[in-house]
Amino acid sequence: MLPILFAAYSAVFVAEIAGDKLLYTTGVLAARYRMAPILCGMAIAFMAKMGVAVLVGNAVSKLPPLLVSAITTVNCFAIAYALWRKPDRQESQQQYPASRAVAVAFAAVFFSEWGDLGQVTAATTAARFGSPLVVWIGAVSAMVTKGALAASAGTGIRHWIQQRLSPKTVRYASVGLLLFLGLQL
């Protein structure tokens, strides 16, 4: 069982760490909220998404790429619109209740990137080894590790950005990046 756990963890971690957009999402969340609630929300979302992956198996990999791209594009545009409409004010991350950070982190992770490389890897690993629970534990552990690394980097980046850029500049740059990512999908 332990070799299957390590195989699932390694395969999902490597599949997810290379150029995944969630690294940027997590970094942005860490710049706004405390790390513990973000990790909690992400972990719940990862548990649900990887649960679907190992239960559904290869069906996740057969989702139409156009559908996956459309959902991700709409998500990017919706977040860009919400940021654009946000009033200009300096806010510290302690002003937000933990429940809000958990909900935002959950939504950002759960409603994005269905059928991505990590899910497909978890699905195929579960199908190959026939141990969905062990694969699920390994896949969720890999995703939480990736999320924790990205959130840690986001916290350090937040301090650097706050010292050098106005919140308005950061907001406009975020909107532009989200629109660019949405158009690339």
Calculate ∠ Cα 136-137-143, nearest 5°: 85
Counting the structural domains of the chain, the total is 1
- Highest mean pLDDT among 16-25, 144-153, 165-174 belongs to 144-153
Contact 182, 78 (CB under 8 A): no
79-95 tens-digit pLDDT: 677 767 766 655 444 46
111-139 tens-digit pLDDT: 876 777 778 788 878 877 778 899 999 99
What's residue 126's pLDDT?
83
What's residue 93's pLDDT?
45
The domain of 103 spans: 2-184
Contact 131, 1 (CB under 8 A): yes
